[in-house]
């Protein structure tokens, strides 16, 4: 079998950032899949499942309610390797197009207080697995160390 494209990225040189993972046509629409990389693969501890789950709930809720972008949001969800998330959006987009949206999203997570949306038995298949304090910590770290100072090297896959 051929390797899928995401397994051809040099994960030993991959920095935290925002990357275009792929672009697909669905009918006449382009869908852009973004790699929202919060951790350097194989270089630092990955995100714990409870905080990653909380980030998923908060980011998905925020993005699907964000007035300017809500109609372009298709999906937000965690990577299996626990180093970040995937964001699928309608349109032929580049990382630079969504930097401010990601800043807003991670500020929302960093500042969130109260009950996590959808964290109830009838709403979620693993409602007890959440960690809001760690989600806020990781969101702040990604925001201040990556998004607020993002450079081209954090938006182009290594070797491309």
Answer whether residue 160 is part of any domain: no
Q: What is the pLDDT of residue 68?
A: 96
Burial of 19 (0-12, 13-18, 19+ CB in 10 A): buried
- What is the domain extent for residue 117? 5-154
Angle between helices 49-65 and 95-111 (to 10 degrees): 110
Q: Is the CB of residue 139 less than 8 Å from the CB of residue 48?
A: no
Q: What is the pLDDT of residue 4?
A: 72
Answer whether residue 159 is part of any domain: no
Q: What is the pLDDT of residue 105?
A: 98
- Encode 56-85: b = buried (16+ Cβ within 10 Å), e = exposed: bbbbbbbbeebeebeebbeebebbeebbbb
Binning pLDDT at 50, 70 and 90, where does residue 23 land?
very high
93: domain CATH number is: 3.30.1360.80
pLDDT tens per residue across span 136-145: 999 999 999 9
Strands 29-37 and 73-78: unpaired
Round to whole Å and give the CA distance between 24 and 28. Answer: 10
A 10 A CB-CB count for 49 gives 14
Q: What is the pLDDT of residue 60?
A: 98
Round to whole Å and give the CA distance between 35 and 22. Answer: 9
- Mean pLDDT, residues 146-160: 92
Q: What is the total count of domains within the chain?
A: 1
């Amino acid at each position: 079998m051929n390797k899928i494209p995401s397994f051809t990225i040099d994960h030993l040189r991959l920095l935290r950032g925002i990357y275009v993972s792929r672009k697909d046509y669905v009918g006449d629409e382009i869908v852009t899949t973004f790699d929202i990389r919060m951790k350097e693969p194989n270089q630092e501890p990955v995100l714990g499942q409870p905080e990653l789950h909380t980030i998923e709930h908060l980011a998905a809720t925020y993005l699907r309610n964000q007035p300017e972008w809500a109609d372009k949001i298709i999906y937000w969800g965690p990577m299996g390797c626990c180093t970040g998330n995937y964001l699928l959006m309608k349109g032929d987009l580049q990382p630079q197009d969504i930097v401010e949206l990601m800043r807003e999203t991670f500020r929302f997570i960093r500042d969130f207080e109260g009950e996590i949306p959808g964290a109830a038995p009838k709403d979620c298949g693993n409602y007890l697995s959440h960690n809001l304090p760690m989600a806020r910590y990781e969101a702040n770290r990604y925001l201040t160390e990556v998004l607020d100072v993002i450079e081209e090297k954090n938006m182009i896959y290594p070797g491309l």
